[in-house]
Amino acid sequence: MKDTELPIALNQCWKAATENWHLAISSIKDNAKLCQSLLQLCAAADQACAGVGSTYSLERPPDLQFHFQADDLLTPRQNGSSLCREVHPTRARVLPKMHTPWNGLTIRSLSLYLSLCTGDEVSPQWITLGSYPERESMNLLLVPWPFRIAPSQFDIAAPAKGEMKNMPDRFGFFGFRQRSDAGAVQIIQSLYTASKAEMGKIDGVVLPELALLEEEHEELRRFVLKEEAFLVTGVGRASQSAEEHDMNRVCFDIPHEAPLWQSKHHRWKLDESQLRQYSLGSRLSVEKRWWEHVSLNDRRLLFVSLPALVMSVLICEDLARPDPVGDLVRAVGPNLVIALLMDGPQLKGRWPERYAMALADDPGCSVLSLTCLGMSELSRPAQGPSRSRVIALWRDRTGTSTEIELPAGCGGIVISLSFQYEEEWTADGRRDYGEAVFPTLSGVRGIKGRPEWFEA
Amino acid sequence: MVELSPNDSSILTRVARYQKIPIRERRALLQRATPKAREIGLIILGTSTGQEADEETKAAADAYMKSFPRKPLKKK
């Protein structure tokens, strides 16, 4: 920012690029000098942006004014966040990047610090949280709430007025109605208190998809924030009239911050095999395929930048579908991805592991999937004994998946994450000198519950 | 507890983090924040002692200053 003139070498690269504006993209590969210039420009831009988007304290200050301005650009606005000042985000956007793929070469292998995101279907929101203290490890309390789900909580949902009029008869909508009398808040508070006594500190509480009603969430967030911890939970509401959809969102609450939330991007489709798996055949006809009756209008993706790591949360199907959310997640490569599910047991070989593996391989995210005990118990195994107490799965770049089982008599599990650092390289041979952060699973401990919690 | 918007958080993070940026420049940034965030920002900058601030304002300022401890000013 101090020197407004480009260095001579970069100026020559820029000149080579501007002299070839007229060239068709398909012809660029035949012009070696131009290719070299474009790669040099890309590498220079990438290096200049080292550390952008993180909230580390600045021990070794880079170009302060430049980073000061870049952080301003990242503040979410109407069209989300982007580091571009002159390119409108509906055309393309550039976001910070946390991981460069280790396996194979892709377009994402060309940069360490910047990601190119095309398409504006999803609005990425980069949330920078400087009020959260830096740490080298983290304890997360996982509560697979609700502990019980009955088939009667699933029901046919009428389409909203004018919705999907041309939908064939073999398709329908379904809704899920949460129970409000189950004492969720008191149970989770008890588990929090017990886990804090056992572990010393709890940094965050994580609950699955559709775990809480809005009023329960409001009560629990006040408790968790007072404890100086963060809360990540699925929150839902069945539609109150034929005019509206059900609500299915993740709420992210962090001390001193306004509530953050993100709606589900993809509808769950229940087909015959799933209706049989979850014993829902008497509620929803196995002759039909049933789409979850949620609105897809609000498509935002939160990237929450805490000191030491950037975190994203996906809801169920959003983990499985490659676009449009998957493309963004792969481009940015958040250090930690939490997938909140309403699913069967989180066993190796099932779909959550497959998609977690894909994100762990490229770009290198650590992935935690969490389902509720109620849905896991509703799920009948295709063969062999039920393993419904495997309510979470951890996968990271180390190459192994870890099933996380709720021990008998326990209502929650505390997982400990340690932040490790590894070196990453670009395809053109640049490296980050070991600045890439990998949360790894370094502890699992069950937290006892009360027998009456697990009764119907 | 104070509930800061993403815009306020981003501003306060920069105010606390970029301590080598002149105070007047960081103070100017606070003009784009809500009154509550401005109050927190002035405590972070050290231009307000925060003595008259309420507890939640002090707690929020404290959280930022824990993440980015204020460096002592150099004597001229």
**Partner residue opposite A257 with nearest CB, options B3, B11, B17:** B3
Q: How confident is the model at residue A177 (pLDDT cuts 50, 70, 90)?
A: very high
Residues in Cβ contact with B67 at an 8 Å cutoff, skipping those fewer than 6 apart: A55, A57, A130, A131, A132, A133, A134, A307, B16
- Read off the pLDDT of residues A392-445 as tens digits, 9 standing for 90 and up: 999 998 889 999 999 999 999 999 999 999 999 999 999 999 989 999 999 999
Residues A226, B5: C-beta atoms closer than 8 Å: no
Residue B76 above 50 pLDDT? no
pLDDT, tens digit, 9 for 90 and up, residues A204-218: 999 999 999 999 999
For residue A112, pLDDT over 90 is answered with yes
Contacts of A75 in chain B (CB under 8 A): 6-7, 10-11
- The chain A residue lying nearest B62, using CA atoms, is A131
> How far apart, in whole angstroms, are the C-alpha atoms of residue A436 and residue A202?
24
Query: In angstroms, what separates the C-alpha of A270 from chain B's closest C-alpha?
Result: 36
The stretch A123-142 carries a mean pLDDT of: 90
Of A67, A132, A257, the CB nearest to B67: A132
Residue A284 has a pLDDT of 96
In this prediction, residue B14 has a pLDDT band, given cuts at 50, 70 and 90, of: very high
Contact B63 A256 (CB under 8 A): yes
Min Cα distance B76 → chain A (Å) is: 22
B66–A76 C-beta distance less than 8 A: no
Residue A75 to residue B6, Cβ atoms within 8 A: yes
Nearest to A301 by CA among A69, A76, A140, A85: A76
* Per-residue tokens: A168: 């064939």
Chain B contact set for A257 (CB, 8 A): 3-4, 6, 9
What the block records as the tokens of A165 is 């009029």
What are chain A's domains?
1-45 (no CATH), 137-454 (3.60.110.10)
Flag if A129 and B13 touch (Cβ within 8 Å): yes
Neighbours of B74 (CB within 10 A): 5
The pLDDT tens digits of the residues spanning B35-75 come to 999 999 999 999 888 788 899 999 999 999 988 877 655 54
The upper half-sphere exposure of residue A243, i.e. CA atoms within 13 Å in the direction of its Cβ, equals 0
What pLDDT shows up at residue A241? Answer: 79
Say what the pLDDT of residue B67 is. Answer: 86
CA distances to A80, A133, A135, A410 from B65, in Å:
28, 9, 15, 38
- Whether residues A131 and B12 touch (CB distance < 8 A) is answered with yes
Report how far residue A374's alpha carbon sits from residue A372's, in angstroms, rounded to the nearest whole number.
5
Residue B7 three-state SS: helix
Q: How many residues does chain A have?
A: 456
The beta-carbon neighbor of A64 closest among B5, B21, B63 is B21
B20 contacts in chain A (CB < 8 Å):
58, 61, 64
**Is B68 within 8 Å of A130 when comparing Cβ atoms?**
yes
Give me the amino acid identity at A289.
Answer: R
Query: Coil, helix or strand for B18?
Result: coil
Q: Place A243 in a pLDDT band, splitting at 50, 70 and 90.
A: confident
Give the global pTM. Answer: 0.94
Out of A67, A68, A130, whose CB is closest to B12? A130
- Categorize the per-residue pLDDT at A159 as very low, low, confident or very high, splitting at 50, 70 and 90: confident
Nearest CA in chain B to A254: B3
Q: Which of residues 21-60 of B touch A (CB under 8 A)?
A: 21, 59-60
| Partner-chain residue, chosen from A64, A225, A259, that has the shortest CB–CB distance to B20 | A64
Residues of A in contact with B63 (CB under 8 A): 131-133, 255-256
pLDDT value at residue A66: 87
